[in-house]
Amino acid sequence: MNTSEIRKLFPILHQEVNGHPLVYLDSGASSQRPISVIEAMKHYEEFDHSNVHRGVHTLGSRATEAYEGARAKVARFLNASSEEEIVFTRGTTTALNLVAGSYARSVCGEGDEIVITPMEHHANLIPWQQVAKATGATLKYIPLQEDGSISLDDVEKTVTDRTKVVSVTYVSNVLGLTNPIREIAAIAHRHGAVMVVDGAQSTPHMKVDVQELDCDFYAFSGHKMCGPTGIGALYGKKKLLNNMEPIEFGGEMIDFVDLQDSTWKDAPSRFEAGTPMIASAVGLGAAIDFLEQIGMDNIAAHDRKLALYAQNRLSEIEGITIYGPKENRTGLVTFNLDDVHPHDLSTVVDSLGIAIRAGHHCCQPLMRWLGVSSTARASFYLYNTEEDIDRLVSALLHTKEYFDHGLR
C-alpha cells in the first residue's frame, strides 16, 4: 500500500482544523470517502436517477441496474452464495434489528436462550433484550477473560441445547480484538442455534467470507468502509430469509395483495419495502470497488501495523491505560489518561487538529466491566500513517502537561 497516494484520493483530509493539518483518527465511528465514491453518487444523481423495479423507461432501467449491480458487488465482497442472500438496510443496526424482530421473535419462547457477550455494541445487545422480554427467553452472556477476550471453553459452557441464537461482534469497537467467529458458529450449530455476526468493525478492515465463517446472518454498514451513510446490508442464508416474516410492509415487497390478505416476494425483496436508498447503494458499490482495488489483505496488514505502533507509542506515556489485548488488535486503540476525562482529552487534541472519539462508544456494559464510565479511542484506516500517531502522542503529552500544570 502506498498510503501517501491513497491519501490524495480523500479530499476531506487536505484541510486545516483549528489552524492545524487534520489528523482523522475516528474511522471506527465513520470513515472518510474517496473521490471515486463521491463521483459515483454524483453521476447517478446527475444522469441516472429514477425509481427502481418500477418503470420500464431508460432512466428506470439504469437506476435498477445500478442498484442491483451494487447488491451483486456486496454478495461477491462477502462471498455469499447468491445475490438473493443480500438485503439492503440502513446499516448494521437496522440489519440486526431485522434478525431480532423477525427471525428471533418467531423461534424463541419461554425457557429458550439467546447468547451474546458483554463487549457488544448496543445495536447487538438491546434488540436481544427486547426479544427476551417479548418471548420469555433468557439472555445469557459469555464471560470475558481478563484482557476482554472470550475463550471457546466458556462458549461451550454458555451455549446449550436451549440456545436459539448466538450473536457476537466479529471485531470489538472498544477492545479492537477479533473474535473466533467460525469456531463459535460451529458450537452454535452443534446445539441447533443460528450464528449472527455484527460485522460493523470487521468488514472495513479484513477479508470476510461468510461461507467460510458459516454464519447464518452477517450485518455491516457502508459508512465505516469508505461508503456513504444510510446504507448497509444483511447477509442471511437463503432458506432462513425466505422463512422469515417482513417487519416493514408496503410497495415492492409484495407478491399478491387482496382486500383482506397479502403474500410476500422471496428475499431480498420482502425486506425492502418502499423506495430504497438507491444513491447510497451506488456509493456502497463504488466503495467496494475502491477497497478491492487496494486489496483487503493489504488493508488488514496496514491496520494491524498501525494498531501495534499506536499501542507501543501510547504505552510510553506515563499515566496512560490501554484497554484490550496486546495481541490480535485490529485498527484501533482505546485508552484513558490519568486524571483527565476523555471528553476533556478529546477537546484538547481537537484544538490541535486531531479527531478522536470519546465516550462509552455505545458499550455501557463493557465500560462497567472495565471499571470506567468512558474512554478515548483512536481508530485507524487505510489513509492513516505512523506520523498521524506521532501527532496524537505529541498532543497527548501536551494534554497531560496542561492538566498537570492546572492541578498544581
Measured CA angle at 86 (ends 81, 92), to 5 deg: 130
Q: Which run of H or of E encompasses 264? A: strand 262-264
Q: Are 199 and 92 in contact (CB under 8 A)?
A: yes
Q: Are strands 254-257 and 375-379 parallel, antiparallel or unpaired?
A: unpaired
Q: Are 2 and 378 in contact (CB under 8 A)?
A: no
Amino acid 90 reads R
Q: Are 403 and 344 in contact (CB under 8 A)?
A: yes
Phi, psi of 191 (to 5 degrees): -100, 5
The answer to whether residue 108 is catalytic is no
- For residue 162 the three cell numbers come to 436451549
Residue that is written with C-alpha cell 451455549 in the block: 159
d(CA 253, CA 376): 43
d(CA 96, CA 103): 10
Hey, which bits of 36-106 come out as E strands? Answer: 86-89
Assess whether the previous peptide bond of 276 is cis (omega < 30° from 0): no
Q: Are 378 and 386 in contact (CB under 8 A)?
A: no
Q: State the catalytic residue, choosing from 108, 226, 362, 363.
A: 362
Beta bridge partners, 358, equal: 376
Measured CA angle at 235 (ends 233, 241), to 5 deg: 115
Looking at the annotation, which residues are catalytic? 362
